[in-house]
């Protein structure tokens, strides 16, 4: 069983929206433990519910339009109270947790690390302030993994 599942997601072609994606890429290079799995995704899809069901904890990493640019915050999240009858090809973390519980009978402890973004325009680079906060968020996540 995967002890910790880390899922970084976002669009690396939309500047700072790729912050979660980039953080997961950095973590892939630095985490070499059999009990930790790092996934890099453009978006969260329902198929990830099975991966969540095998983990004890999951850490989602995403860019945030509400978090001040250049900052990041970690917060605990919980399963959505219900699963929508219909949804598109992408899901929010609470919906994925609910799917894991409904389909597989298991729901891991979960948190999200939100990285404040400044620019969601077209571009393949993070803004300098977000690049710095991505590196700091990676260090935070590495310390969580080592707990």
Which domains, from first to last, does the chain contain? 2-146 (3.40.50.1450)
The answer to whether 62 touches 115, Cβ cutoff 8 Å, is yes
- Per DSSP, helices labelled H in 90-127 are 93-104
From 30-34, 81-85, 103-107, the region with the lowest mean pLDDT: 81-85
| pLDDT over 90 (residue 82) | no
The DSSP call for residue 64 is E
Between the CA of residue 120 and those of 44, 58, 84, 104, what are the distances in Å? 18, 26, 28, 35
Percentage of the chain modeled with pLDDT above 90? 88
pLDDT at residue 2, rounded to an integer:
72
pLDDT at 1 over 90: no
Q: Is residue 88 pLDDT above 60, yes or no?
A: no
Mean pLDDT score, 47-75: 96
Confidence of residue 51 (pLDDT cuts 50, 70, 90): very high
Q: How far apart (Å, rounded) are the C-alpha atoms in residues 33 and 145?
A: 10
> Is it the case that residue 117 has pLDDT exceeding 70?
yes
Please give the mean pLDDT across all residues of the chain: 93
Is residue 71 predicted with pLDDT exceeding 60?
yes
pTM of the model: 0.95
pLDDT average, residue stretch 103-108: 95
Q: Residue 80: pLDDT band by 50, 70, 90 thresholds?
A: confident
Q: Mean pLDDT over residues 91-119, rounded? A: 95
State residue 136's pLDDT score: 97
- Beta-carbon contacts of residue 77 (< 8 Å; ≥ 6 apart): 60, 93, 94, 97, 110, 111, 112
Helix (H, G, I), strand (E, B) or coil at 111: strand
């Amino acid at each position: 069983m995967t002890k910790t599942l880390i899922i970084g997601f976002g669009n690396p072609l939309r500047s700072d929206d790729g912050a979660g994606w980039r953080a997961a890429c950095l973590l892939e290079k630095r985490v070499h433990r059999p009990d930790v799995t790092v996934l890099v995704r453009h978006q969260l899809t329902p198929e990830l519910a099975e991966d969540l069901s095998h983990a004890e904890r999951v850490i989602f990493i995403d860019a945030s339009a509400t978090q001040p640019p250049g900052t990041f915050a970690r917060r605990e999240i919980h399963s959505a109270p219900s699963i929508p009858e219909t949804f598109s090809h992408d899901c929010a973390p609470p919906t994925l947790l609910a799917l894991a519980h409904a389909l597989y009978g298991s729901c891991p402890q979960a948190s999200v690390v939100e990285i404040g973004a400044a620019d969601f325009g077209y571009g393949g680079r993070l803004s300098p302030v977000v690049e710095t906060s991505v590196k700091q968020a990676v260090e935070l996540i590495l310390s969580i993994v080592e707990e």
